[in-house]
Structure 1
Amino acid sequence: MPTYPKYDSNSNVVIGSSSHRRRIPQKSVAALALVLLGAGLGVGGDYLFAHNSPVLGTTAAAESNPATQANSQVTTPSPAEGSVYNPVARIAQQVGPAVVRIDSTRTVNNPNAQMFNDPFFRNFFGSQMPQMPNKEVERGLGSGFIINKDGTILTNAHVVDGSEKVSVTLKDGRTFPGKVMGKDPVTDVAVVKVDAKNLPVVKIGDSKTLQPGETAIAIGNPLGLDNTVTEGIISATGRSSGQVGIPDKRVNFIQTDAAINPGNSGGPLLNQNGEVVGINTAIIQGAQGLGFAIPIDTAKGISDQLIASGKVEHPFLGIQMVTLTPEVKQEINSNPNSGLSVYDNSGVLVMKVVPDSPAAKAGLRAGDVIGKVNGQAVKDADALQQAVESSKVGKNLQLDLKRNGQQMNVAVKAGAYPTAQADTEDQTP
């Protein structure tokens, strides 16, 4: 999804690909980078936010003995005598070396170049016409973590989306060129590979057992500040993409109040044992303590497919839908421009059927109210989306629905979700 920061019109979640990107004319990259470094400007954005600019050219500070760390898995150091030591500090020491900074670049057309080529501006400015290059370099900054010693790294898809060049920097200062093995914009998971051996690795935990109130620790590179550690709790689990404000994703997010900022995208969310339970992905602009992470169980399943084949297939019906309530029913029936007549007070209302989609081929129509999928009741749009996601491409889904108040059963063969549509369709299972 080569979109660079975009804003969801229905929420304050800012959706961006390697979100911390700033356009820089090629001729002035070096000079501007120095200006930004000197001014200390920063931003970018996880999945969100941004009215500032990325810190460019930052490097991780070299540790006292990088060679020792480079050749062995990270072990817990013994605290110095008399020093203050706590579980979070221990976890940071253990996991920090396996958390990386991911820098990415791509060349894009300069949108201002065409404007200054307009004859009006040329006549107005004359010989003083500014020279605008046709191409710009965009730089992105994100985080990731190493899952095996041979250099396989998990991160967010939006961190590397559209990138021509990816580099990975370890905490000990070593930098490697990275290769994107695959990315899935539907879940925002990507896999990057570096050519290295005996790298420090994280431990993978179990996100299915998480409970609100448990300790949550985030490590990443917010605003270019490498290996920053923040602590909080797991605030909630199972937050649907619709609740978070990014309905084109198919993830039940972990919510945390551990501080997450632009640049944390792709970094690990850890439990009290120092195990990775999520990939930090999103925050809500203007809010405090509302961060979201992809559960590691979801991310691991997606990454396994990306490593094996470079792509992921998601089941797809091709409908836009809304949870039906008495209030929604009244609003639709009282709107003469809706074109729909709703008779039910609950279920999932089909608002639109995508042309040539599996749903269209099966005969679904706008106004149908779906009550069950394969015999299981679906009370809201999120439940229907999860039911579709749990099926397989090419398998039939039996939908119990009502059309104009009449009970019907329709079989829909799930198709493969078109990746490009992940950027454009809302609530489209």
Structure 2
Amino acid sequence: MKLLSNKLGVYLGVLAVGGSLGFLGSRQFQQPTARKQTQVYPTAIPTEANPVNRSNNDRDVNFIATAAQKVGPAVVRIDASRHISASPENLRNPLLKRFFGGDKSKKSSNSLPEQIERGTGSGFIIGSDGRLITNAHVVDGAEKVQVTLKDGKSYPGKVLGTDPFTDVAVIKIKAENLPTVSFGDAKNLMPGEWAIAIGNPLGLDNTVTVGIISAMGRSSSQVGVPDKRVKFIQTDAAINPGNSGGPLLNSQGEVIGINTAIRADAQGLGFAIPIETANRIANQLFTKGQADHPYLGVHMINLNEEIKSEINSSQEFDFKIPEDKGVVVVKVIPRSPAAKGGFEPGDMINKVGRSPVKTSVQVQEQVDLSKIGSELEVEVLRDGKLKILKVQPTAFPKGEFE
């Protein structure tokens, strides 16, 4: 059962699986989060080959430079910090070290040492009244958030909400007439299109890198973060620690995603949250401080010949599967919406709503689009017969993945 145990629970959306793998907890993946800021001194000397004080009208400015000039003023640096006790557990925690990277400490009132953890990430302004979007992991647990604009102005930031399922967070600063970004369309992106990233890698503010869209629709399990509910954009535009929360742009300078994760053991493998997902979650966070995610309560798995054979030969399951393709329910969570709606282990999911589905990711997507408390029809194949199950998704239970 080793193969099957490795496959179960890799998709979340409608799952209820214990034990989450955070971006920073994966050996192969890390989030481009905080690193201690270093100071860099300029060395270039203006020459005829390196002209200065020339207007854009005097030279052929390409679309990358145009996009950077358009969006750069709306990209911010986010510095977050918090205190933790310097207990042996915290001092050994690699996630804390990798996220904040702080090395200062002080004594608390009871003489127990405390550490100040610091992290630096990126974000971008979506409202001239000071509304910002970033990654949840950039500000997770932060007691103090400072937002610095490209022009050097700095403001204290208030985190209005975070969503760990999509890694989206929103911040508000007290400012007016701020520059803002424009949203593009991530749904219709194609591999090979230009991709421009702007952020603050390693503390180097407003760094611009360029590449292409390498792939679309990467599942959270493919990216190595099965506890997320996102289909990621893959890009080879250089993304480094500190880029987290910064925008990924198209050639028109429109935001198409939020730079979120990188492959630690490779180059040219970066991942971004599509802007449609980020904007949908951000609107909920601004409105009510949290994002609700529809929940059914089933474990499911994508079938192939190997999985089919393992399930049918195992005594762990009391059903047999004739098909070797599709999505099969292997467990129904007691008292969940799925249990109340009549789901059974062995059900093959054919449609969610009116949309045909062939993978667990597609099931997750359709459930995400449903409304909590509203009836959702799911077509399943059971014992060779089609059945329509009517289920009412609830909000995802808190602590389900803790």
Is TM-score (shorter-chain normalized) higher than 0.5?
Answer: yes
1:55 pairs with one of 36, 42, 49: 36
Distance 1:138-1:343 versus aligned 2 partners, 3 A rule = same
Secondary structure, aligned partner of 1:204 = coil
Correspondence 1:93 to 2:69: yes
1:28-427 aligned within 5 A: 44=34, 54-56=35-37, 79=55, 85-112=61-88, 133-337=112-316, 340-405=319-384, 407-421=386-400, 423-424=401-402
Q: Distance in 2 between matches of 1:148 and 1:93?
A: 18
- The amino acid of 1:7's aligned partner reads G
| Cα distance, 1:224 vs structure 2 | 1.6
Secondary structure, aligned partner of 2:187 = helix
Q: Distance in 1 between matches of 2:389 and 2:214?
A: 39
Aligned equivalent of 1:12: 28
Q: Distance in 2 between matches of 1:143 and 1:413?
A: 38
Q: Distance in 2 between matches of 1:271 and 1:115?
A: 41
Residue ranges of structure 2 left out of the alignment (5+ in a row):
1-19, 43-52, 93-106
Q: Distance in 1 between matches of 2:305 and 2:21?
A: 37
CA contact (8 A) 1:185 1:419 kept: no
| Cα distance, 1:338 vs structure 2 | 5.1
| Cα distance, 1:404 vs structure 2 | 4.9
- The amino acid of 1:92's aligned partner reads A
| Cα distance, 1:384 vs structure 2 | 0.8
Secondary structure, aligned partner of 1:409 = strand
* 1:360-412 residue CA offsets vs partner (Å, 9 max, x unmatched): 23232333222222343211111111111111101122222234555443221
Question: Which deviates the most, 134-143 or 330-339?
Answer: 330-339
Q: Distance in 2 between matches of 1:411 and 1:97?
A: 49
CA contact (8 A) 1:191 1:303 kept: yes
Superposed CA RMSD in Å reads 3.0
Q: Structure 1 length as normaliser, TM-score? A: 0.75
CA contact (8 A) 2:22 2:227 kept: no
Residue ranges of structure 1 left out of the alignment (5+ in a row):
21-43, 45-53, 62-76, 117-130, 425-429
Q: Which has the higher contact order (CA 8 A, sep 6+)?
A: 2
Secondary structure, aligned partner of 2:212 = strand
- Between the aligned residues of both structures, percent identity stands at 52
Secondary structure, aligned partner of 1:106 = strand
| Cα distance, 1:114 vs structure 2 | 9.4
* 1:32-73 residue CA offsets vs partner (Å, 9 max, x unmatched): xxxxxxxxxxxx4xxxxxxxxx214879x9xxxxxxxxxxxx
| Cα distance, 1:217 vs structure 2 | 0.5
| Cα distance, 1:213 vs structure 2 | 1.6
Question: Which deviates the most, 341-350 or 144-153?
Answer: 341-350
Distance 1:81-1:275 versus aligned 2 partners, 3 A rule = closer
Secondary structure, aligned partner of 2:248 = strand
| Cα distance, 1:355 vs structure 2 | 3.2
Q: Distance in 1 between matches of 2:126 and 2:90?
A: 45
- The amino acid of 2:28's aligned partner reads N
Q: Structure 2 length as normaliser, TM-score? A: 0.80
Q: Distance in 1 between matches of 2:61 and 2:213?
A: 23
| Cα distance, 1:343 vs structure 2 | 3.0
* 1:63-118 residue CA offsets vs partner (Å, 9 max, x unmatched): xxxxxxxxxxxxxx9726766743222322232221111111122343317999xx
Distance 1:5-1:249 versus aligned 2 partners, 3 A rule = closer
- The amino acid of 1:110's aligned partner reads A
Distance 1:92-1:374 versus aligned 2 partners, 3 A rule = closer
Q: Distance in 2 between matches of 1:110 and 1:356?
A: 41
Q: Distance in 2 between matches of 1:113 and 1:238?
A: 37
Secondary structure, aligned partner of 1:207 = coil
Q: Distance in 2 between matches of 1:164 and 1:4?
A: 21
